C-alpha cells in the first residue's frame, strides 16, 4: 500500500517476547550508515546511543556527553558546544563533516533543532518542531487521539484553574492531572484522592511549579492495568518496530513512593505478546503516523509509546507519546540490538525504512539505576564514585548519566540518576542477578537503588516454569 503511513503488511520487523529475531538484509547503501555521527545530550540514553553507533571506520561524537562517554573507546566528547545554539551546532557539523545528527533529549526537538539543522542541509534523526508537539503538548496529543480514533483515556483540557478544580470535583478520584508542556518528567500526578488532584492543579496552574508548562493542564481518567513501553522508528510513511520494555517509575520497591525519571527497566516486556504487539501497531502506531501526515507534520524519528494494557479487556490504550528514546529503556534496547544503529537511523532520515529489517540478540536486557540519595527530592552532588565502572563481567555494561570527570580523572556524581548498570542474559532472573552483582561492585556511598527491578517479569518466568500463569 504505497503512500499509506505505516502500511507494511509483512508484520513486525522485530520479534515479540515469544518469537525469534529475524536477520537484517538492507540495501548496501543503508548498511554503510553515516561516516561521522554526532549525538546531542549528556544522559544515560546518549551514552547508550553513542556506544551503539560505534562501527569500523565511523567517527562518533557526543556533545556534551558525560564521564562515561568521555572514557568510552571510539567516542569523542565535544566540550563547549551549546546545543541550544542551533546555528553553532550546524557550523560545528559543517566543520567536522558530520553525516548524521542524533538528538537525544526532547527539549531541543520541541525547540525546533531538527528543522534548523535540516535547513542547514544536515541529516537529523528526530522529529520536526511540529511533530514534536506529540510530547511538547499533552493537549495536542489527546486531540490527535480523539480525531483519529486512537484509544486513550478520556480527558479534558483547562487553562482556567477554577474550571479545572470544578472538573476534578465532578469526576472524583482516582484521577490524573498533567501539565501540558515539558516538565522534566515531573508534570504528572496520579491522584488517589480529590484533595491530591486539587493540590496538583494548585501547584501547576497557580503556584507555577513548572512555569509555562503548567499554564494549561490535562485532566484524564485513571486507567487500570499494566504499563509497558513500545518503540518504533518512523520515516514519515513507514515504520520499523524496535522492541517492548517496562520501566519502573516509582522510587520505592514494590512500585511505591513518588515517580522518578525511571529507576530501572528491562526489555523485552513479556506482557507484550505477539497478539498485543499487533494491536499496538494497528490501533495506535499506524493511525498515529497517518494522522500526523494528514495534519501536515509527518513523523520522522523514534516513537516511544507509553501503553496501558487495560485490566478488563487486555487491549492497549495510549498513555503518552515521547519523541525520543526513553531513559533508561534506551540502554536496554541498545544492548540487545545486533544491527547497525547508524544504518537504521540513516534510513529513517532518507525515507528508506521499508528496506530495513532488524536483528536482535535473543536475550533479555535489564538495567538498574543508581541514584543520588534523596532523589527525586533534593540531593547532593560532587561525591566520588570509585569504582564507577567495575570490571565488566560477561553481559554487563555501565552507562553513565549524571557524571563528570574531575581534574584527577575521578568520576563525580552531578545528577539525580547517575549510573545505569545493565546486564543481558537468557532470562530476566539471570539478567537481574548479573545486574545486581555489578551494582554491588560500584563504590558509591551516596548512591542507592531499587532492589526489585524486573519483579513482574521474574514472577512470570517462575510461574511459567512451574506450569502456571502469572
Residue 468, pLDDT above cutoff 70: no
Residue at grid coordinates 529507576: 263
Residue 16, pLDDT above cutoff 70: no
Identify the helix (H) or strand (E) that includes residue 140.
helix 138-148
* Average pLDDT over all residues of the chain: 91
pLDDT value, residue 7: 31
Please report the beta strands in 159-254, taking only residues with DSSP state E, as ranges in sequence order.
175-179, 188-191, 217-221, 225-235, 239-247, 250-252
Q: What is the phi/psi pair of residue 223, to 5°?
A: -100, 130
The model's pLDDT over 188-241, given as tens digits with 9 standing for 90+, comes to 999 999 999 999 999 999 999 999 999 999 999 999 999 999 999 999 989 999
pLDDT value, residue 385: 98
The superfamily (CATH) of domain 28-130+225-355 is ATP-grasp fold, B domain (3.30.470.20)
Closest CA to 321 of 304, 335, 333: 304
Q: Are 127 and 345 in contact (CB under 8 A)?
A: no
Identify the helix (H) or strand (E) that includes residue 417.
strand 417-425
Residue at grid coordinates 513518588: 258
Q: Is 3.30.870.10 the CATH number for 154-221?
A: no
Residue of 184 and 384 predicted with greater confidence:
384
The model's pLDDT over 106-153, given as tens digits with 9 standing for 90+, comes to 999 999 999 999 999 999 999 999 999 999 999 999 999 999 999 999
Nearest-angstrom CA–CA distance, 281 and 288: 10
Residue at grid coordinates 532472573: 429
Cell of 255: 512500585
Give the CA-trace dihedral at 443, 449, 454, 456, to 10 degrees.
150
pLDDT value, residue 52: 98
Nearest-angstrom CA–CA distance, 57 and 61: 13
Q: What is the mean pLDDT of residues 77-96?
A: 96
Residue of 87 and 393 predicted with greater confidence:
87
Residue of 261 and 333 predicted with greater confidence:
333
Beta carbons within 10 angstroms of residue 98's beta carbon? 21
Q: What is the phi/psi pair of residue 232, to 5°?
A: -135, 155
Q: What is the mean pLDDT of residues 293-317?
A: 96
Which CATH class, in words, describes the domain spanning 364-465? alpha beta
Identify the helix (H) or strand (E) that includes residue 300.
strand 300-310
Residue 95, pLDDT above cutoff 50: yes
pLDDT value, residue 381: 97
The model's pLDDT over 26-79, given as tens digits with 9 standing for 90+, comes to 333 334 589 999 999 999 999 999 999 999 999 999 999 999 999 999 999 999
Residue 11, pLDDT above cutoff 50: no
pTM of the predicted model, to two decimals? 0.90
pLDDT confidence tier of residue 466, bands split at 50, 70 and 90: confident
User: In sequence order, what are the beta bridge partners of 124?
Assistant: 101
Cα distances from 235 to residues 23, 127, 232, 298, 348, in angstroms, run: 21, 9, 10, 8, 5
Residue ranges per domain, the chain? 28-130+225-355, 154-221, 364-465
Q: Compute the C-alpha angle 328/258/209, nearest 5°.
A: 100
Beta carbons within 10 angstroms of residue 445's beta carbon? 9
Amino acid at each position: 500500500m504505497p503512500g499509506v503511513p505505516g502500511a507494511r503488511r509483512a508484520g513486525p520487523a522485530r520479534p515479540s517476547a515469544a518469537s525469534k529475531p529475524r536477520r537484517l538484509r538492507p540495501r548496501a547503501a543503508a548498511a554503510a550508515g553515516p561516516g561521522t555521527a554526532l549525538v546531542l545530550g549528556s544522559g544515560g540514553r546518549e551514552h547508550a546511543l553513542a556506544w551503539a553507533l560505534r562501527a569500523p571506520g565511523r567517527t562518533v561524537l557526543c556533545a556534551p556527553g558525560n564521564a562515561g562517554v568521555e572514557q568510552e573507546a571510539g567516542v569523542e566528547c565535544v566540550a563547549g558546544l551549546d546545543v541550544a545554539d542551533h546555528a553553532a551546532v550546524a557550523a560545528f557539523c559543517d566543520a567536522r563533516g558530520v553525516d548524521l545528527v542524533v538528538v537525544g533529549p526532547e527539549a531541543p526537538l520541541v525547540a525546533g533543532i531538527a528543522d534548523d539543522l535540516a535547513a542547514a542541509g544536515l541529516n537529523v534523526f528526530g522529529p520536526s518542531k511540529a511533530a514534536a508537539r506529540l510530547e511538547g503538548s499533552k493537549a495536542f496529543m489527546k486531540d490527535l487521539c480523539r480525531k483519529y480514533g486512537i484509544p486513550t483515556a478520556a480527558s479534558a483540557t483547562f487553562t482556567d484553574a477554577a474550571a479545572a478544580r470544578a472538573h476534578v470535583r465532578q469526576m472524583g478520584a482516582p484521577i490524573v492531572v498533567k501539565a501540558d508542556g515539558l516538565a522534566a518528567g515531573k508534570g504528572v500526578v496520579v491522584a488517589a484522592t480529590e484533595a491530591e488532584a486539587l493540590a496538583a492543579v494548585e501547584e501547576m496552574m497557580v503556584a507555577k511549579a513548572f512555569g509555562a508548562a503548567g499554564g494549561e493542564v490535562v485532566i484524564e481518567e485513571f486507567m487500570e492495568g499494566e504499563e509497558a513501553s513500545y518503540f518504533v522508528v518512523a520515516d514519515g510513511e513507514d515504520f520499523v518496530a524496535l522492541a517492548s520494555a517496562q520501566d519502573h517509575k516509582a522510587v520505592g520497591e514494590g512500585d511505591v513512593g513518588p515517580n522518578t525519571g525511571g529507576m530501572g527497566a528491562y526489555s523485552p516486556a513479556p506482557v507484550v505478546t505477539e497478539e498485543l504487539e499487533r494491536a499496538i501497531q494497528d490501533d495506535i502506531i499506524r493511525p498515529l503516523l497517518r494522522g500526523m501526515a494528514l495534519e501536515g507534520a509527518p513523523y520522522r524519528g523514534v516513537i516511544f509509546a507509553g501503553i496501558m494494557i487495560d485490566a478488563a479487556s487486555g487491549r492497549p490504550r495510549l498513555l503518552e507519546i515521547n519523541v525520543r528514546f526513553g531513559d533508561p529503556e534506551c540502554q536496554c534496547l541498545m544492548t540487545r540490538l545486533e544491527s547497525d544503529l547508524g544504518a537504521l537511523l540513516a534510513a529513517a532520515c532518507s525515507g528508506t525504512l521499508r528496506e530495513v529489517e532488524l536483528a536482535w540478540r535473543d536475550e533479555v536486557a535489564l538495567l538498574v539505576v543508581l541514584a543520588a540519595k534523596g532523589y527525586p527530592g533534593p540531593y547532593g552532588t560532587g561525591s566520588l564514585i570509585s569504582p564507577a565502572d567495575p570490571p565488566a563481567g560477561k553481559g554487563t555494561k555501565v552507562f553513565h548519566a549524571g557524571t563528570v570527570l574531575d581534574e584527577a580523572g575521578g568520576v563525580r556524581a552531578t545528577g539525580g540518576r547517575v549510573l545505569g548498570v545493565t546486564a543481558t542474559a537468557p532470562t530476566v532472573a539471570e539478567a537481574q542477578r548479573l545486574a545486581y552483582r555489578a551494582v554491588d561492585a560500584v563504590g558509591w556511598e551516596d548512591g542507592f537503588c531499587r532492589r526489585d527491578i524486573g519483579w513482574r517479569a521474574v514472577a512470570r518466568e517462575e510461574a511459567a516454569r512451574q506450569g502456571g500463569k502469572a
